[in-house]
Amino acid sequence: MIQEMIRQPEWRTIGRCRVTSELFLDAVFTSACDCACPFCISRTGEYAAEDREAWAQAVRDAFRLFDIRTVILLGGEAALDPGFWEKTEMLTRAMENARTEHMILTTNGMGFLDPEFTERLLASRIDAVNLSRMHYSQAVNDGIFGRNTLTREEISRLYAQLRSAGKTLRLNVNVWRGNLDSPEEMDVFAETFAGCCDAVKFTPLMRTDMFGTVEEVTRYTREKAIPEPEIAGLWERFTARHTLVRKASRVLGFVDYAEVEAFGGTVILKYAQVEDKYDRETEIPTLKLYPNGCLSNEWSFTRDIRDRLI
Ligand code: SF4
């Protein structure tokens, strides 16, 4: 479920930059979302204005310049973008002549309430769905998202549909002060959704928002985000209750992971984000594509990486 944990990346040089062989392209479709999570990193005052022509050119450039291993469709909520399928098909065509292996949709799941969307996704090149789910209790989860979210039964049905189409489902969970911040609580989550998905991934809540701006949403994260050493301790205590399958350090140069077997399923633990520990001027461990056509190696829709490849 985390390919980079298994494969050692090789690095090659393009112009002034070092590029990983395990490059993933985060295609940020839109900052819009129909949920209202208090920690949302895309709810910022800054937005990348849509420019479809520049976006299409950036897709062509991304696949011409780089070997992209994985494409991730992101938001906000990507499925809310009116151009969702058009963009997805454009990316699918670009992948045809590339060695790209996966196309992953990261979503809040609301799109699956529409059977037509589900049918189209099942027939599409998207081979993995990462569904955001923050709590095992339906009432608490709905409270966090600010609306009725998919129930465990709906998630279970979705999983069966995805599986029969050869696709995978992962639940993406954030941990913060007051939300699944003990091994016991993490256990309840993992056990509740055992058999409903291929993996559960726990990630600590990050304190910064997507574009590095200081906004009201970051006050929530400032109060609730658990410091890096404490997260490491929590992950160690959870791991000690189960079976550690593997650990991987500095995956792509900046993230640590552990894979644990718990309740017959796979649990991925992502250590605190240390994205600022790579040199953004010269290293490309990740690529981000914004609605305005900016292609960047950081959370910025103004600093285009193509300017630094010469
Ligand atoms: S579902 Fe994701 S994008 Fe939407 S409000 Fe919550 S965190 Fe933000």
On whether residue 3 sits in a domain, the answer given is no
More confident call, 250 vs 190: 190
Of 12, 22, 37, 206, the closest CA to residue 100 belongs to 22
pLDDT in tens, 150-182: 999 999 999 999 999 999 999 999 999 999 999
Q: CA 17: distance to chain centroid?
A: 24
On whether residue 5 sits in a domain, the answer given is no
pLDDT in tens, 13-33: 888 888 887 789 999 999 899
d(CA 146, ligand 1 centre) in Å: 10
Instruction: Count, in order, helices (H) and strands (E) of the chain.
Output: 9, 14
The CATH number linked to 70 is: 3.20.20.70
Percent pLDDT > 70 in the chain is 89
pLDDT in tens, 96-135: 989 999 999 999 999 999 999 999 999 999 999 999 999 9
Q: What is the DSSP letter of 179?
A: B
d(CA 18, ligand 1 centre) in Å: 32
- Tell the residue number behind the tokens 């992502």, with chain if given: 270
Cα radius of gyration rounded to whole Å, the chain? 19
Exposed e or buried b for every residue in 156-188, given b needs 16+ CB within 10 A? eebbeebeeeebbbbbbbbbbeebbbebebbbe
Atom of ligand 1 nearest to the CA of 75: 3
d(CA 171, ligand 1 centre) in Å: 14
More confident call, 253 vs 36: 36
Q: How confident is the model at residue 55 (pLDDT cuts 50, 70, 90)?
A: very high
d(CA 145, ligand 1 centre) in Å: 7
- Structurally, how many domains does the chain consist of? 1
Q: Which of 29, 31, 42 to mutate to test the pocket of ligand 1 (most atoms within 8 A of CB)?
A: 42
**Predicted pLDDT at 214:** 47
pLDDT in tens, 218-260: 678 888 989 888 999 999 999 999 999 998 876 666 678 899 9
- Could you list the residue range(s) of the whole structural domain that residue 162 is in? 14-308
On whether residue 4 sits in a domain, the answer given is no
Q: Which of 133, 145, 216 to mutate to test the pocket of ligand 1 (most atoms within 8 A of CB)?
A: 145
Q: Whose CA is nearest to atom 3 of ligand 1?
A: 76
On whether residue 101 sits in a domain, the answer given is yes
What is the reported pTM?
A: 0.93
| 37-57 mean pLDDT | 84
Which structure tokens are listed for 296?
């960047």
d(CA 17, ligand 1 centre) in Å: 32
d(CA 98, ligand 1 centre) in Å: 31
Atom of ligand 1 nearest to the CA of 35: 5
Question: Got the DSSP string for 247-281?
Answer: EEEEETTTEEEEEEEETTEEEEEEPPP-GGGS-TT
Tell me the range of 5-9, 228-232, 273-277 where mean pLDDT is highest: 228-232
On whether residue 7 sits in a domain, the answer given is no
On whether residue 45 sits in a domain, the answer given is yes
